[in-house]
Structure 1
């Protein structure tokens, strides 16, 4: 991500949004995406959780493909995408998305 921040047009191309938009979304969801550290491992950061999910949304690639790219287990990617999507919906739906109707 740090390398992509140097080149905003690459960030835009890779994640299908500007870095400013990314940080605006991150500010809204960071607290709900933050996990506690344990003695055994450091948690995946809120930034990386959001990046993983946004890349999944942008490409639709499988969780297994995402796991190779982000160097995380495929079940970890699955959990991150599902949890982050729920947080995004919970935080952004009332402000930006109307409730779905039949």
Structure 2
């Protein structure tokens, strides 16, 4: 019984300490999302560019608009249609941009969403 209790406590501890919440990020950073298009993004990158090239283009675009990028990442959860061939169709990828709270209004004006 004693070994079972210790094992249960250990497993519970692992689960509790391994979980990371969104509250772990600094309070002055917010994440904004952009659904990447095949060729209609304002930074002029098309779907044939690498993530690194897109990252550089997005950061440069946002800095030109006065936004300070804290972090930029990608995921594959875009809801834009990827099966059409229009320039405004999606690539299936989203661009996730963390910015300072001072830049919320600028990001919304540029078409990013939370």
TM-score, structure 2 normalization:
0.27
Comparing both chains, which one has the higher relative contact order based on Cα–Cα distances under 8 Å and sequence gaps of 6 or more? 2
Give the structure with the larger strand fraction: 2
Q: Is the radius of gyration larger for structure 1 or structure 2? A: 2
